[in-house]
Amino acid sequence: MGDDLTRRLDRITLLLGAILGVQTATLLVLAAATGVSIVALASASVIALVVVGLLVALLGGALTEANPFGGTDRPRGR
């Protein structure tokens, strides 16, 4: 991999880690404040994390100029 691509993927990984940390903290605060079951909140958190993960993956594909569904958008050379 190129250095530029590696840096971009590192940034995306850090972003996902930050999102997971914020979601975990929010989950604990909501469970304590509302008294709602932590299992119900965890389920909602997992669903939200999957949605955010898909959005970040699509963004990562845009940043690396790759088609998120496989291949690249660049035409083949001769």
Write the CB contacts of 17 (distance below 8 Å, at least 6 apart in sequence): none
Q: Domain span at residue 58?
A: 35-65
Confidence check: pLDDT of 77 > 70: no
51 domain-assigned:
yes
| Exposure letters 1-19 (e unless 16+ CB within 10 A, then b) | eeeeeeeeeeebeeebeee
Average pLDDT taken over every residue of the chain: 77
CA atoms within 13 A on the CB side of 22: 9
56 domain-assigned:
yes
Q: How far apart are CA 47 and CA 20, in angstroms?
A: 12
pLDDT at 76: 63
The number of distinct structural domains making up the chain is: 1
pTM of the complete model: 0.47
Which pLDDT tens digit goes with each residue over 30-64?
888 888 888 887 888 788 878 887 887 777 666 66
Confidence check: pLDDT of 67 > 60: no
Candidates 72, 67, 63; CA nearest to 8 is: 63
